[in-house]
């Protein structure tokens, strides 16, 4: 077994026991890490696999969270039932938003996505259609209940969040190894060649965008029910920057890298709480240094190993 | 009707600021194809340095307002130019051969670093420029009461832009910059020291940005560490509006964006003022990505 | 045999078969061969560091004979100046308490956590405080920030006294352990409407900044003024954090109001005053309590701020009680200037209220303290006036006064 697989297995086994050893505060930190990890994984599909420079991911997160909040507070539907709806709405908005801009080249796409996240935030603050609660946000969102079991303490949320994370990781691994995933990686490497090989580049990019958005929307549901109040400030451009950085610094395109990135970027500042003012300073400097010295990230996706012999015809090489 | 003209003059004054900052973005992009996210923060640094110099040297008491402002502007521009050159050396030069994304992330990191450095060095509070040093009266032109400072602001922006235009079009170094912007490889073959040119661009662009920062500080009186973010993003929109990589485009784009914003705020809604700027950005990128004055480049955008 | 392709640094597009590296040992690139060791080292280091940090933190709460009071405030973020003032005042008061022998013989320890002015950080800060074995918590500034922490404290049975959160709904949730020393927005709205009426204005422009506090106050004032039959000439929001409000001022000017009532925060108020003066427009302006801050005059300039009125709970300098006077003397002696923000002083009041409750009931459990504050505390002499709480946890009594800025930039209490 490769040493990396052993490490991942050990990690996966150790995680369920964490709430027993950690106090409520650290469990909550791990919860935050988990949420950011899932969000970063969803961004990974867009940025890491498809290679689209997307800095507006917080917008879809916001749409998912607000959908849940509005439906839950207006109609009383239990939070977890709104999760698919939140995801779908986020996905639809991604479709609407991305369709005209999908063909833009890297830098331009970056700026446009920044603009989008700002517009969403301003729309939320200005209480568009009078349902978003304005700068107030929406409060009184109920806690999630699974078969009557109410989840409110950090320990309980831990299992919900990391359980969802485990499902996400599994699904994303399947995606990575599927035909769609391979097509995305081809597009990332060389768009023109991919197009020449018969891949509908625009459609694949759009699908990747939508998948990432749907996942972010569902994550928004969990966030909304965890905080019970949501406000537009939580979904600003800074959030998108953090997510973007997690993916890039962790290793874009690699799932373990992204999770490690989430732990470092969300967990470490909590460890260094005492130096709160210098946290972001170090963050910025770290970004620059990482790009100069190790620009593929901490845990870049490993080289793909293909077993050639299995691809050869049965009779052996001619 | 009077309101319309008042808003128009508002827009032009703010547009002048956007234009100055946009010039920095457009010059860097033209030569390096890199969006320098840290440019907005260089603008902020200009404002803060201006304040420090102003307060510590007490210039206004010694030489009188006009020469003092000019001296201050020159000092700030030189200092910010140095910081800009250092930024390029540290954060961007090692990444010349790396994929585009690394440079973008590095720019972001530099931006975050600057913002927080300013916050740590100065204070998270709003800092205030000393009052009562500049004329606050209003001039009556064509029946409108326009504050004299607004006119001064606009004229200063125009003067700086004209100086830059002259520099780029008529001098030898300016031609070198334009050559490097068109094709770095060919420029090298022509004997142009591209490294030197890039460093120069990173001196001029931030210098203009720093001057804009100083003007904002003097005009509005209040600065804080994250004002570069909003101004920078809007200036970038202005640069794209005019055609990125195109210097007259940045000037036109800046003024135009200022006016659109002011009129939009007046006639559509104040609360959506920023959203209007972003909508303009998205529209331009969808409809005419090369910008108003941009050349039809063969590049796929 | 499987080939692995690795990139050599500096040659971005040249793949080289992996096994070559072992031959040219001196060309070892950064990354591949030693990567796994680096990674393991890094992961072990991080894990080790986290363990040490965790142990260190949990050991912190081992002291028995101290009464621990939490303070949650914005030490960083947009309201950092408020938070830092709050910290200074509460720590000063705590030091005095300890010098006088503590509460019932036990020393007081203040545990400070930064909420960054952001609801999510507040939730984390609150969770962190609940693990620190505190009897009560003071905080915080900002209604939505306080709201994010309410449930966390309530579920842990910790008494919370908020100091700068005036949104009405905070005390309407039926939380028995929640109190506040600051007034509510509806009271402020009433005083605003009353004052505007008394000053004889009939055509009023209302401007807010879309934050929950400002909009709430603006809505309250608007409703009351319209009920009184006054005309609202203009009602809209500006974007906080910007600099250029000329567009908005021009728009308001064309609506020709007799007074402008701005319910947002002091940085924007300062800019509005200054730009209004630069436009040559002399309309009187009135502000809500978030405009109460000495920096307001600094930003606007003495000339522009002259005549500006605002509502606020009274600052200690304007109170006659011996506690208030002594407090000002002590604060000036310790920090060199008078306390800046009235909200930070309300935090001081929150501290004194908690200490009084603990001293009188000789208990530290949230419920007992809450019961004392609800039922027994009557007209406690605070730094901002007399304090009593009603059954919702709100502070009882007329708190708001009208202030006017004079030509020297001082805030003068109006009768």
The pLDDT of residue A277 is: 64
Give pLDDT tens digits for C200-253: 888 889 998 877 778 888 888 888 888 888 888 888 888 777 777 887 888 888
Q: Is residue C28 included in any domain, yes or no?
A: yes
Contacts of B152 in chain C (CB under 8 A): none
In a domain, B143, yes or no: yes
Neighbours of chain B (3+ CB pairs under 8 A): A, C
Q: Which whole number is the average pLDDT over A123-146?
A: 75
For A171-189, b/e burial (b = at least 16 CB within 10 A) is ebeebbeeebbebbbbbbe
Could you tell me which of B219, B217, B208 has the C-alpha nearest to residue B77? B208
- B275: chain A residues, CB-CB within 8 Å: 118-119, 122-123
For residue C258, being part of any structural domain is answered with yes
The pLDDT of residue B39 is 92
The pLDDT of residue A4 is 77
Same domain, C157 and C263: no
Q: What count of other Cβ atoms lies within 10 Å of the Cβ of residue C374?
A: 16
Inter-chain residue contact B104 with A110, CB threshold 8 Å: yes
Q: ipTM strictly over 0.90?
A: no
- Is B289's CB within 8 Å of A123's CB? no
Q: Tell me the CATH number at B145.
A: 1.10.3470
| pLDDT tens readout for residues C53-62 | 555 444 433 3
In a domain, B295, yes or no: no
Inform me whether the pLDDT recorded for B18 exceeds 70.
yes
**Has residue B298 been placed in a domain?**
no
Q: Is residue C411 part of a domain?
A: no
Q: Do C204 and C177 belong to one domain?
A: no
Chain C residues whose beta carbon lies within 8 Å of the beta carbon of residue A34: none
Q: What mean pLDDT, rounded, does chain C reach?
A: 78
Q: What is the DSSP string of A87-123?
A: HHHHHHHHHHHHTTTTTS-HHHHHHHHHHHHHHHHHH
Other beta carbons less than 10 A from residue C10's beta carbon: 8
Picking from B108, B110, B298 by the largest number of A CB atoms within 10 A of its own CB, the best residue to mutate is: B108
Is residue A127 assigned to a domain? Answer: yes
Q: What is the DSSP secondary-structure string of C329-351?
A: HHHHHHHSS----HHHHHHHHHH
**Three-state SS for B272?**
coil
Q: Looking at the domain assignment, is residue C413 inside a domain? A: no
Mutation for A interface: B32, B101, B233, B299, most A CBs within 10 A: B101
| Res A234 pLDDT > 50 | yes
Q: Which residue has the tokens 């459609």?
A: A203
Lowest mean pLDDT among A188-202, A268-282, A290-304, C254-268: A268-282
Do residue C264 and residue C156 come from a single domain? Answer: no
DSSP strand E in chain B: where?
127-128, 138-141, 144-147, 222-223
B91 inside 8 A of chain A by CB: yes
Report for C6-10, C18-22, C244-248: range of highest mean pLDDT = C244-248
Are residues C308 and C190 part of one domain?
yes
pTM for the full model? Answer: 0.79
In a domain, C173, yes or no: yes
Chain A residues with CB-CB distance to B278 below 8 A: 115-116, 118-119, 122
User: pLDDT higher for C3 or A111?
Assistant: A111
Has residue C24 been placed in a domain? yes
Which stretch of B186-195, C24-33, C117-126 has the lowest confidence by average pLDDT? C24-33
Q: Which residue from C44, B105, C22, C43 is spatially nearest to A294, judged by alpha carbons?
A: B105
Closest CA–CA distance from residue C375 to any residue of chain B (Å): 41
CATH number at residue C374: 3.40.50.2300
**Hey, which residues 210-269 in chain B have their CB within 8 Å of chain A?**
229, 233, 236-237, 240, 269
At residue C39, the pLDDT reads 57
pLDDT at C291: 84
Nearest to C243 among B132, B227, B274 (CB): B227
**Which residues on B lie below 8 Å from A108 (Cβ)?**
240, 285, 289, 301
Q: Does residue A94 register a pLDDT over 80?
A: yes
CA–CA dist B42, B64 (Å, integer): 27
- E strands present in chain A: 138-139, 145-146, 149-150, 229-230
Q: Shortest CB distance from A281 goes to which of B95, B113, B301?
A: B113
Suggest the residue from B12, B13, B125, B257 to mutate for an interface test with chain C (most C CBs closer than 10 A). Answer: B125
Residue A287 lies in a domain: no
Query: Which of B34, B110, B282 is facing A288, going by the closest CB pair?
Result: B110
Min distance A309 CA to chain C CA atoms (Å): 9
Nearest to B18 by CA among B200, B166, B213, B150: B213
Q: pLDDT confidence of C37, banded at 50, 70, 90? A: low
In a shared domain, residues C368 and C390 = yes
Q: Do both C308 and C328 map to the same domain? A: no
Cα C176 to chain centroid distance, Å, stands at 22
Beta bridge mates, B145? B140
Domains held by chain C: number: 3
Question: HEC states along A34-57?
Answer: HHHHHHHHHHHHHHHHCCCCCCCH
Reading the block at residue C69, the tokens are: 């009071």
* Helix intervals (H) in C114-242: 119-130, 143-155, 185-198, 212-227
State whether A227 and C131 contact (CB < 8 Å). Answer: no
Residues of A with Cβ-Cβ distance to B95 under 8 angstroms: 291-292, 295
Omega cis (within 30) before B129 = no
Q: What SS3 class is residue B223? A: strand
pLDDT band, residue B119 (cuts 50/70/90): confident
Is C328 part of a structural domain of the chain? yes
Residues 272-291 of chain B whose Cβ lies under 8 A from any Cβ of chain A: 272, 274-275, 278-279, 281-282, 285-286, 289
**Cβ distance of B136 and C250 shorter than 8 Å:** no
Q: Quick check: B71 contacting C, CB < 8 Å?
A: no
pLDDT band at C34 (very low <50, low <70, confident <90, very high): low
Q: What share of chain B is helix, strand, coil (3-state, %, to 5)?
A: 75, 5, 20
Give the H/E segment covering residue C383: none
Domain membership of residue B63 as a residue range: 2-287
Q: Between residues C31 and A137, which one has the greater pLDDT?
A: A137
For the segment A29-73, what is each residue's pLDDT rounded down to a tens digit? 888 899 999 999 999 999 888 888 888 899 999 999 998 988 888
Instruction: Show contacts of C319-328: CB within 8 Å, 24+ apart.
Output: C319/C383, C319/C384, C319/C385, C321/C381, C321/C383, C321/C385, C323/C352, C323/C381, C323/C382, C323/C383, C324/C383, C324/C384, C327/C93, C327/C383
Q: How many domains does chain B have?
A: 1
Q: Which domain holds residue C349?
A: 65-183+319-398
pLDDT for the residue numbered A165: 92
Same domain, C270 and C225: yes
- SS3 label, residue B72: helix
Which is nearest to C330 in space by CA: C94, C70, C74, C84?
A: C94
Clarify whether residues C353 and C370 are in a common domain.
yes
Average pLDDT over residues B207-212: 92
Least confident of B42-51, C154-163, C204-213: C204-213
- Token pair in block for residue C373: 């504050």
**Which tokens go with A230?**
């949501």
Count of residues for chain B? 301
Predicted pLDDT at B84: 93
Residues C177 and C33 in one domain: no
Residue B276 lies in a domain: yes
Mean pLDDT of B97-102: 81
Determine, yes or no, domain membership for A139. Answer: yes
Q: Which helix (H) or strand (E) holds A241?
A: helix A237-251
**A134/C76 touch (CB, cutoff 8 Å), yes or no:** no
Chain C contact present for A270, CB below 8 A: yes
Structural domains of chain A, count = 1
pLDDT of residue A280: 74
Same domain assignment for residues C191 and C304: yes
DSSP code, position B288:
-
Q: In this complex, which of A110, A114, A122 lies closest to B272 when CB atoms are compared?
A: A122
Say whether both C76 and C162 belong to one domain. yes
Max mean pLDDT among A16-25, B4-13, B163-172, C311-320 falls in B163-172
Residues C235 and C282 in one domain: yes
Nearest of C39, C36, C30, C38 to residue C6 by alpha carbon: C30
The residues near A89 (Cβ < 8 Å, ≥ 6 apart) are A63, A64, A67, A217
Q: Output the pLDDT for position A43.
A: 93
Contact in structure between C89 and C348 (CB atoms under 8 Å): yes
Instruction: Identify which has the larger pLDDT, C342 or B158.
Output: B158
Segments forming the whole domain that contains residue A34: 28-234
pLDDT exceeds 50 at position C85: yes
Q: Which of A14, A20, A22, A25 to mutate to test the interface with C (most CBs of C within 10 A)?
A: A25
Are A266 and A35 within 8 A, CB to CB?
Answer: no
Q: At B80, is the pLDDT very low, low, confident or very high (cuts 50, 70, 90)? A: very high
């Amino acid at each position: 077994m490769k040493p990396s697989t052993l490490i991942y297995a050990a990690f996966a086994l150790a995680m369920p026991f964490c709430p027993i050893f950690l106090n409520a505060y650290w469990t909550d930190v791990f919860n935050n890490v988990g949420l950011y990890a899932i969000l970063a994984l969803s961004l990974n599909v867009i940025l890491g696999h498809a290679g689209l420079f997307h800095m507006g991911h917080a917008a879809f997160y916001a749409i998912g969270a607000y959908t849940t909040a509005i439906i839950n507070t207006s109609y009383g539907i239990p939070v977890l039932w709104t999760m698919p709806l939140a995801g779908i709405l986020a996905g639809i908005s991604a479709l609407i938003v991305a369709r005209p801009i999908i063909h833009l080249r890297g830098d331009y796409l970056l700026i446009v996505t920044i603009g989008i996240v700002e517009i969403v935030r301003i729309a939320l603050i200005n209480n568009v259609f009078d349902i978003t609660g304005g700068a107030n946000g929406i409060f009184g969102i109920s806690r999630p209940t699974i078969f009557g079991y109410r989840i409110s303490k950090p320990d309980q949320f831990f299992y919900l969040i990391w359980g969802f994370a485990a499902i996400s990781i599994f699904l994303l691994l399947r995606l990575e190894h599927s035909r769609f995933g391979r097509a995305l990686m081809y597009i990332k490497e060389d768009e023109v060649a991919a197009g020449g090989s018969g891949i509908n580049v625009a459609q694949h990019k759009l699908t990747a965008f939508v998948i990432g958005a749907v996942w972010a929307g569902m994550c928004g549901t969990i966030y909304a029910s965890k905080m019970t109040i949501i406000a537009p400030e939580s979904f600003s451009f800074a959030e998108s920057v953090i997510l973007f950085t997690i993916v890039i610094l962790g290793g874009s395109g690699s799932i373990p890298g992204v999770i490690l990135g989430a732990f470092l970027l969300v967990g470490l500042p909590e460890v260094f709480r005492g130096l709160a003012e210098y946290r972001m300073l170090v963050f910025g400097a770290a970004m620059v240094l990482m790009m100069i010295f190790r620009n593929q990230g901490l845990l870049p996706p490993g080289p793909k190993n293909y077993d050639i012999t299995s691809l050869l015809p049965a009779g052996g090489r001619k | 009707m009077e309101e319309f003209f008042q808003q128009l003059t508002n827009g032009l004054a703010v547009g002048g600021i956007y234009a100055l900052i946009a010039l920095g973005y457009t010059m860097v992009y033209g030569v390096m194809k890199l969006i320098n996210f840290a440019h907005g923060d260089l603008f902020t640094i200009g404002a803060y340095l201006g304040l420090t110099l102003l307060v510590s040297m007490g210039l206004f008491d010694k030489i009188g307002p006009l020469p003092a402002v000019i001296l201050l502007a020159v000092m700030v521009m030189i200092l910010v130019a140095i910081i800009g050159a250092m930024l390029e050396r540290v954060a961007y030069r090692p990444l010349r051969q790396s994929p585009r994304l690394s440079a973008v992330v590095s720019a972001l990191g530099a931006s975050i670093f600057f913002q927080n450095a300013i916050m740590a060095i100065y204070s998270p509070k709003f800092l205030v420029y000393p009052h009562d040093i500049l004329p606050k009266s209003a001039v009556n032109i064509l029946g409108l009461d326009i504050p004299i400072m607004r006119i001064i602001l606009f004229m200063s922006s125009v003067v700086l832009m004209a100086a830059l235009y002259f520099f780029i079009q008529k001098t030898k170094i300016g031609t070198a910059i334009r050559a490097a912007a068109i094709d770095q490889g060919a420029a090298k073959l022509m004997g142009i020291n591209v490294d030197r040119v890039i460093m120069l661009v990173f001196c001029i662009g931030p210098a203009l940005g720093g001057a804009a920062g100083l003007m904002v500080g003097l005009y509005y009186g209040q600065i804080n560490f994250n004002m570069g973010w909003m101004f920078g993003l809007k200036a970038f929109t202005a640069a794209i509006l005019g055609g990125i990589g195109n210097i007259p485009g940045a000037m036109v784009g800046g003024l135009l964006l200022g006016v659109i914003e002011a009129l939009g705020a007046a006639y559509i809604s104040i609360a959506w003022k920023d959203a209007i700027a972003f909508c303009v950005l998205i529209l331009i990128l969808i409809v005419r990505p090369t910008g108003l004055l941009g050349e039809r480049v063969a590049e796929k955008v | 045999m499987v080939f692995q392709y690795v990139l050599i640094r500096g040659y971005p597009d040249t793949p080289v078969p992996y096994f070559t590296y072992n031959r040219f040992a001196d060309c070892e690139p950064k990354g591949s061969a030693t990567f796994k060791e680096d990674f393991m080292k890094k992961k072990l280091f991080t894990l080790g560091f986290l363990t040490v940090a965790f142990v260190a933190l949990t050991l912190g709460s081992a002291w028995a004979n101290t009464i621990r009071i939490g303070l949650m405030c914005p030490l960083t973020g947009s309201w950092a100046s408020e938070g830092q003032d709050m910290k200074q005042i509460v720590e000063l008061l705590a030091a005095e308490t300890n010098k006088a022998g503590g509460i019932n013989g036990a020393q007081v320890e203040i545990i400070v956590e930064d909420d960054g002015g952001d609801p999510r950080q507040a939730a984390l800060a609150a969770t962190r405080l609940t693990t620190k074995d505190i009897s009560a918590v003071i905080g915080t500034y900002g209604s939505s920030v306080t709201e994010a922490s309410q449930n966390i404290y309530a579920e842990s049975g910790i008494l919370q006294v908020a100091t700068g959160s005036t949104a009405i709904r905070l005390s309407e949730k039926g939380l028995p352990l929640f109190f506040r020393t600051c007034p509510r927005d509806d009271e402020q709205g009433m005083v605003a409407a009353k004052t505007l009426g008394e000053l004889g204005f009939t055509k009023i422009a209302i401007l807010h900044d879309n934050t929950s506090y400002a909009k709430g106050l603006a809505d309250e004032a608007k409703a009351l003024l319209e009920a009184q039959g006054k005309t609202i000439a203009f009602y809209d929001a500006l974007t906080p954090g910007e600099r250029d409000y000329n567009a908005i001022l021009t728009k308001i000017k064309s609506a020709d109001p007799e007074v402008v009532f701005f319910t947002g925060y002091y940085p924007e108020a300062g800019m509005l005053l200054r730009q209004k003066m630069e436009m040559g427009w002399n309309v009187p302006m009135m502000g809500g309590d978030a405009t109460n801050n000495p920096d307001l005059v600094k930003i606007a300039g003495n000339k522009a701020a002259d005549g500006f009125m605002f509502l606020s709970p009274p600052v200690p300098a304007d109170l006659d009680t011996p506690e208030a006077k002594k407090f000002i003397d002590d604060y000036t002696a310790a920090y060199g200037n008078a306390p800046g923000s009235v909200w930070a002083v309300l935090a001081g009041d929150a501290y004194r209220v908690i200490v009084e409750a603990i001293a009188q009931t000789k208990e530290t459990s949230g419920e007992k303290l809450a019961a004392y504050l609800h039922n027994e505390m009557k007209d406690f002499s605070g730094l901002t006036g007399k304090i009593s709480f009603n059954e919702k946890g709100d502070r009882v009594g007329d708190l708001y006064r009208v202030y006017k800025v004079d030509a020297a930039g001082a805030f003068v209490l109006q009768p």
